[in-house]
Amino acid sequence: MAKNKTPQELRSARWFAPDDLRAFGHRSRAMQMGYAPEEWKDRPVIAILNTWSDAQPCHMHFKSRVDDVKRGILMAGGFPMELPALSLSESFLKPTTMLYRNLLAMDAEELLRGHPVDGVVLMGGCDKTTPALLLGATSMGLPAIYLPAGPMLRGNWKGKTLGSGSDAWKYWDERRAGKISAKDWVDVEAGIARSYGTCMTMGTASTMTAIAESLGMTLPGASSIPAADAGHIRMSSESGRRIVEMVWEDLTPQKIQTRPAFENAITVAMAMGCSTNAIIHLIAQARRAGHDIGLDDFETASRKVPVIANVRPSGDSYLMEDFFYAGGLPGLMSRIRDHLHLDCMTVTGRTLGDNIASAEVYNDDVIRTVANPIYAEGALAVLKGNLAPDGCVIKPSACEPRFLKHSGPALVFDDYPSMKRAIDDPDLDVTADHVLILRNAGPQGGPGMPEWGMLPIPTRLVKQGVRDMVRLSDARMSGTSYGACILHVAPEAYIGGPLALVKNGDRITLDVAARSIHLDVPEAELAKRRAEWQPPETRYERGYGWMFTRHIRQANEGCDFDFLETGFGGPVGEPAIY
Ligand code: FES
Ligand 1 close to Cβ of residue 58 (< 6 A): yes
Those residues with Cβ within 8 angstroms of residue 13's Cβ, 6 or more apart along the chain or in another chain: 7
Residue segments in the chain with a per-residue pLDDT below the cut of 70: none
Which three-class secondary structure string do you get for 321-363? HHHHHCCHHHHHHHHCHHHCCCCCECCCCCEHHHHCCCCCCCC
Tell me the C-alpha to C-alpha distance, in Å, between residue 544 and each of 7, 88, 414.
40, 15, 24
Sign, CA torsion 491/494/499/500: negative
Pure H helices in 87-128? 101-114
Pick the atom of ligand 1 nearest to 91's CA.
3
Name the CA radius of gyration of the chain, rounded. 24
Those residues with Cβ within 8 angstroms of residue 466's Cβ, 6 or more apart along the chain or in another chain: 432, 457
Q: What is the pLDDT of residue 2?
A: 84
Expressed in angstroms and rounded, the spacing between residue 193 Cα and the centre of ligand 1 is: 10
Closest C-alpha among 364, 429, 433 to residue 405: 433
Expressed in angstroms and rounded, the spacing between residue 58 Cα and the centre of ligand 1 is: 6
Ligand 1 close to Cβ of residue 478 (< 6 A): no
Those residues with Cβ within 8 angstroms of residue 514's Cβ, 6 or more apart along the chain or in another chain: none
Q: What is the pLDDT of residue 317?
A: 85
Q: What is the pLDDT of residue 479?
A: 78
Expressed in angstroms and rounded, the spacing between residue 113 Cα and the centre of ligand 1 is: 28
| H or E element in which residue 168 lies | helix 166-176
Asked whether 534 and 468 are in contact (CB, 8 A), the reply is no
Pick the atom of ligand 1 nearest to 90's CA.
3
Expressed in angstroms and rounded, the spacing between residue 127 Cα and the centre of ligand 1 is: 6
Maximal CA-CA distance, the chain: 79
Q: What is the pLDDT of residue 480?
A: 76
Which residue's CA is the nearest one to ligand 1's atom 1? Answer: 126
Which residue's CA is the nearest one to ligand 1's atom 2? Answer: 199
Q: Residue 82: beta bridge partners?
A: 48
Closest C-alpha among 317, 367, 325, 364 to residue 226: 325
Indicate the pTM of the whole model: 0.95
Asked whether 271 and 310 are in contact (CB, 8 A), the reply is no
Expressed in angstroms and rounded, the spacing between residue 325 Cα and the centre of ligand 1 is: 21
Expressed in angstroms and rounded, the spacing between residue 165 Cα and the centre of ligand 1 is: 9
Ligand 1 close to Cβ of residue 90 (< 6 A): yes
- Chain-wide mean pLDDT for the chain? 95
Question: Does a cis peptide bond (omega within 30 degrees of 0) precede residue 143?
Answer: no
Which residue's CA is the nearest one to ligand 1's atom 3? Answer: 90
Q: Residue 367: beta bridge partners?
A: 309
| H or E element in which residue 510 lies | strand 507-511
Asked whether 240 and 72 are in contact (CB, 8 A), the reply is yes
Ligand 1 close to Cβ of residue 60 (< 6 A): no
Q: Which of 97, 162, 199, 223 to mutate to test the pocket of ligand 1 (most atoms within 8 A of CB)?
A: 199
The three-class DSSP label of residue 237 is: helix
